[in-house]
Structure 1
């Protein structure tokens, strides 16, 4: 009797937890859409804030978020992927390498505000970059590194050893085997992990709080050595620090909706890339 009930209980628990998560997700999205959609317009996403950010749009915040994500990708992706390739393909199973892997996984659990303080000490003060878009992007690059390394290494581990052995058997060197056989096979998993890491970085507030984000800029950001606006910080300021919170509350919901759309598009890109390369 117990053996017959066990699958029912397991499936029931799975459906209950999944339904609960989906319910809260739909409730949150419905709240954002119902309160943010009325204020969302082309003018809102294509103009600069006006009159103490009680009117106008969020173009500088959108531009700053996009540039910040690009700098983060340029700083984190090449180094993170290279580090994962070395750990999985070249490094031996030694105590030192096990310690390195454990350290990387521990870094993934460090609070983001600690990365912000580290970026302040290293990039803003020690390297004298000042509070700038470049300093914030490099800080988010450090934040994204552990995730990119871990997801890339996991993608490489899924490639069977026979694939590598087959390439070596026909005369390819280890480097050629990795470049021409292993990396293309692992590319869907690598790209998915990279894009998801970048989408997480795009929504971070604490690291950029110390390194370059500004409350208000009257023009779209274009310089790497200047302060910038970003969607998550802009949302934080409208929701908690603005002098007329009730007046700008619809704009805060619209900003949150735009941020959700940006993150959703990044995630959708990851799934599309994975699907396209999986078919190949």
Structure 2
């Protein structure tokens, strides 16, 4: 019978328990540091910007006079941008995910596409700005209008939607598909009536993340030449426009010359956060509704 050194076993167990406690403390400290930085930044933004938010600030046009400056043009530009980004991203992203998961044969071609989509998710946003400048602004001659900006941002967030939609489709149990086929349904009927409804919560989560990133991105719009200071309001997707992040960028740079611009930038950040919160809340409500149903 093999002798067991109980003292050594106890020593090893104590060592593992100590390591577990140390890692728990380390992760707690990491979490607290992130929260503290976030709270400090949020407090500074609210302290500097809340006093500048009023009806005139939300409805006025941009102005070089800090007291009369408003962000209505940037708000409208952001909404117009999302009206282009959302449908393009949803149609192409979900369609690509359906093809790769439900139709494409497993092999080198499918693996090649999958690898490149995963790589695109990690490409710096400024690269997509250069692509948009080359293809949409100059190649197609669109210029720096809402449509060109929306298509550029759609390319930026498309990989996120594709990957999230694929994961949602994979999570649908296979027996649901087999039951549908057993009832005589075609492949498309099965995808439309069974797979997609069950995968909608996961797909919406990816779309939420994608649109939130698109709303807050600045680098691609700077590259394609979106103006930071634009007086007219955009009325269609063929008008020039500016967005909330660009306005924050403009006021932050010029705050060294005009101190009030720092307060205007902080107030615009608060508005942008509210817009993101509203978008996410609506999407979460829709997602939860479908989760309860399916």
TM class, shorter-chain normalised? over 0.9
Residue 18 of structure 1: CA displacement?
2.2
1:50 paired residue number: 63
1:148 to 135, 144, 161: 161
What secondary structure sits across from 1:185 in the alignment? helix
Query: Could you list the per-position Cα deviations for residues 183-213 of structure 1 after superposition, in whole angstroms to 9, with x for gaps in the alignment?
Result: 0000011011112101100111111123352
The match for 2:26 is 13
Does residue 1:240 correspond to 2:253, yes or no?
A: yes
Alignment match of 1:71 (pick from 84, 89, 94): 84
Query: Map of 1:215-226 to 2, 5 A cutoff?
Result: 215-226=228-239
Match of 2:207 among 194, 214, 227: 194
Runs of 4+ in 1 over 4 A off after TM superposition: none
Once the 2 structures are TM-superposed, how far is the Cα of residue 65 of structure 1 from its aligned partner? 0.6
Residue ranges of structure 2 left out of the alignment (5+ in a row): 1-13
Change (3 A) 1:57 1:73: same
Q: CA deviation at 1:17?
A: 2.4
Asked if residue 264 in structure 1 is aligned to residue 277 in structure 2, the reply is yes
Q: Is the 8 A contact 2:255 2:262 kept in 1?
A: no
Equivalent runs, 1:202-221 vs 2, <5 Å = 202-221=215-234
Bigger Rg over Cα: 2
Aligned alpha-carbon RMSD (Å):
1.7
User: How far apart, in 2, do the equivalents of 1:225 and 1:216 lie?
Assistant: 18
Distance 1:147 1:96 in 2: 20
Matched pairs, number: 280
Give runs of aligned pairs for residues 62-211 of structure 1, distance below 5 A: 62-211=75-224
Q: Is the 8 A contact 1:84 1:153 kept in 2?
A: yes
Task: Provide the C-alpha distance between the structure 1 equivalents of 2:65 and 2:51, rounded to a whole number of angstroms.
Answer: 20
Match of residue 41, structure 2, among 28, 36, 39? 28
Shift of 1:84: 0.3
- C-alpha separation between the residues in 2 aligned to 1:268 and 1:218? 31
Q: TM-score, normalised by structure 1?
A: 0.94
Q: Would the aligned equivalents of 2:74 and 2:243 in 1 still touch at CA under 8 Å?
A: yes
1:251 Cα offset (Å): 0.6
Say if 1:212 and 1:227, in contact at 8 Å, map to a contact too.
no
